Every structure is written in structure tokens, then in C-alpha cells.
Amino acid sequence: MNESKISVRYSRALFLSALERNNIDRIYKDMILLLEMSKIEEFKELISSPIIKPSRKTKIFHSTLGEKVDPLTLSLIDLVIKNGRENYIPAIARVFLSQTKEYKGITETVLTTAVTVDEGIKEQISTFISDAFKTKVELKEIVDNDIIGGFVLRIEDKYIDASIRTKLNKIKKELLAKSLTD
């Protein structure tokens, strides 16, 4: 069974359980926490180590997360570890977050700029996307000096690239093509 099927199945079960218990928002926060933890090197080593026994991994998760997460989240972690699928915890969390956003009608949008954007402009962008796509918008901002200027806007799988870097690369390609044909 491939990774995506495994992640989707566990995530779907968690999502349905959370929905049944009217606990989506709390589990959503737990999944964000698990994703943040998955960026920590020691966490990666813990979940991927074949040397650490499953019972020990479970104890570590319970002592680390204990009161910070919902019991449903802990029971999912217990099940995943029991089945030897702990490597999939970050993927399960990502899929859960995606399913929740879809359920709530939220469109994830990423705005990449060379400098920090004013809150008013971010609000205008969110409102425009919300009106155009008839959806709620979760706008994330990324500052990337490499784009030089302009912006790159990603709305789900659609891109608007109005960055100076892209325009300069396009001009460079045109000049190189022109010089090769002359």
C-alpha cells in the first residue's frame, strides 16, 4: 500500500471521528502541532527509528503531548504506532488539515513577495480572492528576496507569477534565442 493511501485512510478516520464528536477545530490545532514537531530532527529520528520499541514511542508521545492534545489525537497516535505506521504521522496531519479546509470551504493561498506586505493590501487580496472564488481564504505570506520584486500568488494549484525574477528570466531566454538565430 502506498504512502498516500495510508495517510488518507488514517486521516479520514480521524476526520470522521472528530466530526462525529464535534471536535474538528481542536484536532486541527493538534495536527498543526504535529506538523511543527515533525520539523524537529529528534522527532524525525523518533518516528523513523526501528530500534525504539513501539511501547517506548507511545510513552514518549504521551509524556510529550499529554494534556496538550485531545485524547482522540493521542488514540490516533497510539493506533499508528501499534500498526508500525508512525512514519506517516506528518503526512496524516497534512491530509487532515487539507480535508478540514475543504470541509470548511477554505482556500489556502500563498503570497510570495520580496518584502513584507502591508496588512491592508493582504486584506484586499483576501477579499478579492474570496469574491472571485466564492470561498473563505487563508492567506499565508512568504518573503523571498530572490524574486527581486513583484509577487507570486498561489491559489490552490493556480499560480500568478508577476515577479521581476520571472520577467528577467523570460527576457534572458528571448535574448539568447535571438542571438542563436542571428
Is residue 1 pLDDT above 80, yes or no?
no
User: What pLDDT does residue 73 have?
Assistant: 96
Picking from 68, 74, 72, the residue whose alpha carbon sits closest to that of residue 22 is 72
Torsion angle, alpha carbons of 145, 129, 95, 39, to 10: 20
User: What pLDDT does residue 157 have?
Assistant: 82
pTM to 2 decimal places: 0.76
In this prediction, residues 12-16 reach a mean pLDDT of 96
Reported as a pLDDT band with limits 50, 70 and 90, residue 3 is: low
Min mean pLDDT across 39-48, 73-82, 116-125, 170-179 is at 170-179
Reported as a pLDDT band with limits 50, 70 and 90, residue 88 is: very high
C-alpha distances (whole Å) from 121 to each of 5, 47, 59, 118, 137 are: 39, 41, 47, 5, 14
Q: Is 83 helix (H, G, I), strand (E, B) or coil?
A: coil
**Mean pLDDT of all residues in the chain?**
91
- pLDDT tens digits for 116-137? 999 999 999 999 989 988 889 9
Min mean pLDDT across 53-62, 83-92, 157-166 is at 157-166
Kind of pairing between the strands at 106-113 and 136-143 = parallel
The upper half-sphere exposure of residue 132, i.e. CA atoms within 13 Å in the direction of its Cβ, equals 10
| Owner of C-alpha cell 488514540 | 75
- pLDDT tens digits for 97-118? 999 999 999 988 999 998 999 9
Report the distance separating Cα 174 and Cα 182, nearest Å.
12
Q: Tell me, rounded to whole angstroms, the distance of Cα 142 from its chain centroid.
A: 14
- pLDDT tens digits for 139-182? 999 999 889 888 999 988 888 898 999 999 999 888 888 777 76
**Single-letter code of the amino acid located at 89:** I
pLDDT more than 90, % of the chain:
71
